[in-house]
Amino acid sequence: MTAAVAITRTEHSAADLRDAAKRTDDAEAARRMLAIALVLEGKSRTEAATACGMDRQILCDWVHRYNAAGIAGLHNKTAPGAKPLLSPEQESQVAEWVREGPGEPTQQSRLRHL
C-alpha cells in the first residue's frame, strides 16, 4: 500500500477550513473542506472520506488540488463551453439586424399574416 498524500499547505488550520466551509455557498467545496479538516484533526483518510460522503481516492484527488491551489482549488472549475457557431463579424451583423427591427411590411409579408 502506498503512503497517503501529505497535506503540504499549512496556512489553514482545521478550524480555518471549517470556518471557510460555513461561509461558502458551494456545498461541494464545503464538503471537501470539511474532509480535509478531519484529516488535519487526525482522522484517517478513509474515515474522513466516508464521513463526508466520498471515496478515499476522491479525497486524495482533492488533497492534490488543495496542495496546489489552496481553498480556491476545492471549488469546481467552470467548463469552457461550446465553441461559438457565429464569427464575431456574424454576431455583429445579427446584432445590427436586431437593432434595425423588422422594417416596413411588404406585400408578400402581409399575405403571410392573413
Full-model pTM: 0.68
Q: What is the pLDDT of residue 100?
A: 87
**For 38-55, what is each residue's pLDDT tens digit?**
999 999 999 999 999 999
**For 77-102, what is each residue's pLDDT tens digit?**
888 889 999 999 999 999 998 998 88
> Taking all residues of the chain, what is their mean pLDDT, rounded to a whole number?
90
Q: What is the pLDDT of residue 110?
A: 57
Our measurement of the distance from residue 65's CA atom to the centroid of its chain's CA atoms, rounded to an integer in Å, reads 13
CB–CB of 33/25 below 8 Å?
Answer: no
Sign of the dihedral through C-alpha 71, 64, 34, 76: positive
Who contacts 108 (Cβ-Cβ below 8 Å, separation ≥6)? none
Q: What is the pLDDT of residue 109?
A: 59
Burial of 17 (0-12, 13-18, 19+ CB in 10 A): buried
